[in-house]
Amino acid sequence: MSARLDAVELVWRRQKLWSRTADRGKARVERQRRTALIALLVGAVAGTAAAQLSAVSRPAATTLAVVAALAVGAGAFVRGRTGTTASDDWATARSVSEALKAQVFLYLSGVAPYHGTAHRRLLDDTNALCAKAGNQLTNDTVLGTVEPLPEIDGVDSYVTSRLTGHKGQIAYFRGNADRYVKTLGRYRVLETILGAAAAALLAFASVVHVDALTAWIGVVTTVAAALAAHSAQAEYEFLVAEYRATADLLEELVADRAALTEHEFVAACERVLSRQNESWLRRLGSETPEKDQ
């Protein structure tokens, strides 16, 4: 194998290692976030049920009170673990992964700064990037099988592989934007149903004058608020807007490709992708789901 292919294969493997590290980080944060949500819901339901049953069955009420206390404690513990360190590590790993992938695509397409056989420049850039991020982040990641390099030998194949193919970025952004629209719609339906249920309970309680129902109105409201917060934390609306805007920009660049030099075109496409990733990093405080370009 030539030095050129040896170098790009090495960078490709490193990119996959960082990508899988980011995937693990994302899964960890999202798992903790879901656990915290479930704990909150269990605590609200069990606590209210315990209060309702205290006059009927003391053992059942005590059991439910213990369940509520454990759920609240578990939720607080999980929320404490889902701190800035886990999110920062996730963001760092994804940022490195995307930067390495951009280098590979630039190199394979044969444009600046990787004209010809500039494999030493590619390796130097890769080493500097990984060292700055901290290679220890990947220590617990198992690489496993690595898919082959993209079949790119110039700008034409770059367009197909990176942008317009069925696994390209335009299809990725369009498909995921549509998926998030559906997910957001499901959350809104649930929130509407819960809001209507709370209103119905309130109306019924005011007619029959059953005080016990009032407590359950609070539970339903808490569940609705928790789901709304969970949806907002996932930033689905932001992602839909970002993904569709990015797909639009890439399609415009492809359509206007003839007006640019090969280097200008590839650099512009990678710049669009880089900016999209940077916009996610700026939203990290909300623990935005991110992508592997």
Domain carrying residue 240: 3-136+151-286
- What proportion of the chain, given as a percentage, has pLDDT over 90? 31
What is the per-residue pLDDT for 284?
57
What is the per-residue pLDDT for 82?
60
CA distance 77 to 80: 5
Q: Indicate the pLDDT class of residue 78, thresholds 50, 70 and 90.
A: confident
Most distant CA pair in the chain, distance: 83
In the block, which residue shows the tokens 């998926």?
179
What is the per-residue pLDDT for 268?
95
What is the per-residue pLDDT for 222?
84
Q: Which residues contact 140 (CB under 8 A, 6 or more apart)?
A: 24
* Residue 20: strand, helix, or coil: helix
CA distance 88 to 95: 10
Would you say 104 and 11 are in contact if contact means Cβ atoms under 8 Å apart?
yes
Would you say 275 and 223 are in contact if contact means Cβ atoms under 8 Å apart?
no
CA distance 200 to 191: 14
CA distance 30 to 224: 19
CA distance 103 to 270: 9
Q: Is residue 144 part of a domain?
A: no
* Residue 256: strand, helix, or coil: coil
Q: Indicate the pLDDT class of residue 1, thresholds 50, 70 and 90.
A: very low
Helix, strand, coil shares of the chain, percent, nearest 5, are 80, 0, 20
Task: State pLDDT tens for residues 7-54.
Answer: 899 999 999 999 999 898 888 888 888 888 888 888 888 888 888 887
Q: Is residue 293 part of a domain?
A: no
Backbone torsion region of residue 289, taken as left when φ is above 0, otherwise alpha when ψ lies between -120 and 50, otherwise beta? beta
Q: Is residue 141 part of a domain?
A: no
Asked if the model's pLDDT at residue 86 lies above 50, the reply is: yes
Q: Indicate the pLDDT class of residue 185, thresholds 50, 70 and 90.
A: very high
pTM, full prediction: 0.79
Tell which residue, 62, 29, 68, has the closest CA to residue 48: 68
DSSP label of 137: G
What is the number of domains present in the chain? 1
Q: Is residue 225 part of a domain?
A: yes
Q: Is residue 199 part of a domain?
A: yes
Q: Is residue 142 part of a domain?
A: no
What count of other Cβ atoms lies within 10 Å of the Cβ of residue 109?
A: 25
What is the per-residue pLDDT for 215?
78
CA distance 132 to 151: 29
DSSP label of 145: -
What is the per-residue pLDDT for 5?
64
Average pLDDT over residues 51-77: 84
CA distance 291 to 288: 10
Task: State pLDDT tens for residues 124-155.
Answer: 889 988 888 887 778 888 888 888 899 998 99
Asked if the model's pLDDT at residue 231 lies above 70, the reply is: yes
CA distance 6 to 184: 44
Print burial letters for 189-217: b (CB count within 10 Å at least 16), e (below 16).
eebeebeebbeebeeebeeeeeeeeeebb
CA distance 202 to 130: 58
Asked if the model's pLDDT at residue 287 lies above 60, the reply is: no
Tell which residue, 145, 139, 147, has the closest CA to residue 167: 147
